[in-house]
Amino acid sequence: MKQPKHEPPNSDRIGRARRIAREILARRDSGLAISDEQVAMQHADLMPELATELRKLALIRGAMRAADSRDAKSAPSAATGSLGSQTQPPRLDDELPTDAIPGHSIIEEIHRGGQGVVYLAADHATGRRVAIKVMRGGPFAGGNDRIRFEREARVLAALRHPNIAAIHQTGSTSGAHYLIMDYIEGAPLDEYLESVGGPPRDPVALRERLDLFAQICEAVEAAHQRGVIHRDLKPGNIRIDRQGRPHVLDFGLARVDGDASEDSAFDTLTNSGQFVGSLPWASPEQARGRLAELDVRTDVYSLGVVLYQMLTGEFPYPVRAPANEVVETIVHTEPRRPRACNPTLDDDAETIALRCLCKEPARRYAGAGELARDVRRYLCGQPIEAKRDSEWYVLRKFVGRHRGAVTVAAGFVVLVTGGAIIFGAQAHSLARARDAERDARRSAEQVTSFLQDSLAAADPLGTHGADTTMGEYLAAAEQRIDTDLANQPAAQAAAHATIGAAYAGIGRYADADRHLQTALRMRTALLGREHPAVADVWQKLGELRQSQAEYAQAEKYFRAALRVRRARLAPGDPTIAESLAWLSGVLRERGDAAAAERAAREALAILKGSPAGGGR
């Protein structure tokens, strides 16, 4: 095997490596937890020179630690720092004595970072296990360590949520500052996901994964409601306990509304173009080091990266590169579609993740709570907010189209045209009844004209602007039914049916149900229950109930529509196949796989031109 070839060192590369090594030392002094592995990943282009400089730093640390040890032996009670005479705090490079924290016994070290060390300990009074975070002391304790440490204590004291580790006590002993917190027995999120099989490959695993993620978002929302932005959300700061419940940890980088001290603590970092947080999970504004632009939507972006990893096992874009390249990627590169990494995902799950990862904060969810609620909608089978008012989602159920590059206003024009086609087809059905054909055609023409006039009323300048939503178009049409279609009950019923179907398409179910029920009453009064036009409304009501996951009601409506269509229409009529296809989906949801297959086969046979019975 060929050995990797390194370019010979030159003064420019060595100079850059030394500057970065000094920056790393300064950032560690400021309280940021930065490992040598992170540095190597972010500056791969400066290896091996940077590795050499980092080794030099390690030797310097060892020499200073040895000097401190000699000083402590010769002058154990020397006055140090600005706090007056006190014992030199522990270096944390050596093991902490088991009795260092009053009332507790140190059991073992469980985590070591740039700010300090976390220990597992036993509480003498209660016997329970706790986590004790001890602030770093000695020459590598920067002036901002204390500010950050105290801020984390204040943040945790203000947050009371079952999915956020609670703080029990703060204090100092022998010059060492500490926090005593809940000990969460379990594993970090990334390790937990690996232990349960990696990315979800079936609907059950996906639902479990998203339920876990919703709990994480709800914990972050509890912080947001207290004015706290975490700014360092990543799998390593989310721990899953033995019962599978998540806990959000490490608020050391959190920003608190109204707390000016935290901004000054990071002034030197932001002025030098650095960022606060962990780069692979950082938002574009965070990666640029623009602290003033960070808000709760910054946490939403980081949650989006976490969700992407939970769904695919991958990052949304390459992050194993020099830091400057990763920053450019985060700022400018659109994330890969999650289904490219995990084809078993559905479109709604993908859409939720991608909305979190929008480059512009205004296009993301407004906060972790809104994100959690959309995930809950998905889990309940309801339309997600991330798609509301998008042209594909609005028109999908009404005209059966896939997503297209058209505006919402243009989509409404399609709806109007579709309305003319639908009511033209209804006119053909009405012709089967005595003297109905002429009235039906007139009704279709009236409704088409009415919808076009409503479009003009909602957008009087004819701009079809993006600021005019489908909901506004429908509201304008709704207000004009009684006036524009006065004394025309057939046209009024048709308008209610059209508007109801469109409201269902944008997820406004209560409005959809109101209009469809009105259409059902009016058509039943005009035509009787056994009429194809009444069956059309039953069909739409079934589709509405299926969207709401009310499968029993949906089945009832589909069967009513199917019964009338079988009785009143030709055996090969495509609307019979429509009812059978929807009925098949409902039966499958209700667990009757055999009946679902029979209905689907009959629908397929009709569409192929060879009707077959048996779909009941």
Q: Of all residues in the chain, what percent carry a pLDDT higher than 90?
A: 30
Q: Is 169 helix (H, G, I), strand (E, B) or coil?
A: strand
Cα atoms found within 13 Å of the Cα of residue 90, Cβ hemisphere only: 20
**CATH hierarchy code of domain 531-616:** 1.25.40.10
Torsion of CA 604, 606, 610, 612, to 10 degrees: 80
pLDDT of residue 492: 86
At a CB cut-off of 8 Å and minimum separation 6, what does 522 contact?
A: 489, 492, 493, 496
Two tokens, residue 275: 């960022």
Eight-class DSSP state of 508: -
Tell whether the model's pLDDT for residue 61 goes beyond 60: no
Determine the topology of domain 186-387 in CATH.
Transferase(Phosphotransferase); domain 1 (1.10.510)
Amino acid at 500: G
pLDDT at 55 over 80: no
Tokens standing for residue 124: 């003498």
Contact 249, 230 (CB under 8 A): no
Instruction: Compare 291 and 346 and report the one with higher pLDDT.
Output: 346
Q: Which two tokens stand for residue 533?
A: 């036009």
Q: Can you say whether the dihedral through the CA atoms of 544, 545, 551, 556 is positive or negative?
A: negative
Helix %, strand %, coil % of the chain (to 5): 60, 10, 35
pLDDT tens for 245-272 read 999 988 878 887 755 444 444 443 444 4
Superfamily of domain 104-182: Phosphorylase Kinase; domain 1 (3.30.200.20)
Beta strands in 307-354 (DSSP E): none
Q: Within 10 Å of residue 360's Cβ, how many Cβ atoms?
A: 9
Residue 464 tokens read as: 């079809």
Contact 579, 567 (CB under 8 A): no
Place of tokens 């207000």: 479
CA–CA separation, 115 vs 119, rounded Å?
A: 13
Residue 380 scores a pLDDT above 60: yes
More confident residue, 324 or 566: 566
Can you list the alpha helix ranges (DSSP code H) found in 162-202?
A: 189-195
Helix (H, G, I), strand (E, B) or coil at 188: strand
H-helix segments, 229-367: 261-265, 267-271, 284-287, 296-312, 323-332, 338-341, 347-356
Which residue has better confidence, 253 or 309? 309
Query: Who has greater pLDDT, 130 or 46?
Result: 130
User: Helices marked H in 333-459 — which ranges?
Assistant: 338-341, 347-356, 368-379, 391-399, 408-430, 437-458
* Residue reference for tokens 């969207």: 547
Q: What is the reported pTM? A: 0.52
Residue written as tokens 């042209």? 391
Compute the half-sphere exposure of residue 195: CA atoms within 13 Å on the CB side of its CA.
Answer: 11
Whether residue 176 has pLDDT greater than 70: yes
Higher pLDDT, 238 or 71: 238
- 8 Å CB contact between 44 and 323: no
Confidence check: pLDDT of 567 > 70? yes
Residue-level pLDDT at 447: 55
- pLDDT at residue 382 greater than cutoff 80: yes
* 309/54: higher pLDDT: 309
What is the pLDDT, as a whole number, of residue 218?
94
Of the ranges 90-104, 313-327, 329-343, 409-423, which one carries the lowest mean pLDDT score?
A: 409-423
Burial class (CB in 10 A: 0-12, 13-18, 19+), 94: exposed
Residue corresponding to tokens 């030392």: 25
Which residues, 6+ apart, have CB-to-CB distance to 534 below 8 Å? 520, 523, 524, 527, 528, 564
Q: Whose CA is closest to 327, among 298, 286, 270, 272?
A: 286
Give the pLDDT mean for 371-394. Answer: 74
CA atoms of 595 and 105, how far apart (whole Å)? 65
In whole angstroms, how far apart are CA 409 and each of 53, 289, 500?
61, 39, 18
Banded pLDDT at 532 (limits 50, 70, 90): very high
Kindly state the average pLDDT of the residues 548-557: 90
Residue recorded with tokens 């030197």: 268
More confident site: 149 or 490: 490
Say what the pLDDT of residue 6 is: 41
H-helix or E-strand containing 499?
helix 489-505
For residue 450, what pLDDT is reported?
A: 57
Q: How many CA atoms lie within 13 A of 554 on its CB side?
A: 21
Q: Could you tell me where the DSSP H helices lie in 44-83? A: 49-74
Say which residue the tokens 């032996």 belong to: 73
**How far apart, in Å, do the first and last CA atoms of the chain sit?**
68
Among residues 253, 231, 209, which one has the least CA distance to residue 353?
209
Q: How many residues does the chain have?
A: 616
pLDDT of residue 502: 80
Pick the closest to residue 248 from 218, 226, 278 (CA basis).
218
- Number of CB atoms found within 10 A of residue 417's CB: 14
443 within 8 A of 424, measured Cβ to Cβ: no
Which segment of 23-32, 97-106, 214-223, 501-510 scores lowest on mean pLDDT? 23-32
Q: Which of 180-184, 369-373, 497-501 has the lowest mean pLDDT?
A: 497-501
The structural domains of the chain, with segments of one domain joined by +, span 11-63, 104-182, 186-387, 406-527, 531-616
d(CA 312, CA 160): 32
Higher-confidence residue of 370 and 64: namely 370
Q: CB-based contacts of 445: which residues, under 8 Å, 6+ apart?
A: 420
Range 338-356 average pLDDT: 92
pLDDT band at 203 (very low <50, low <70, confident <90, very high): confident
pLDDT mean over 514-541 = 94
Q: Which pLDDT value is given to residue 470?
A: 64
Residue 312 vs residues 337, 341, 375, 454: alpha-carbon distances, Å? 10, 6, 17, 45
Comparing 428 with 299, which gets the higher pLDDT? 299
**DSSP assignment string, 97-156:** PTTSSTTEEEEEEEEE-SSEEEEEEEETTT--EEEEEEE--GGG--HHHHHHHHHHHHHH
Residue 105 phi/psi, 5-degree rounding, is -120, 125
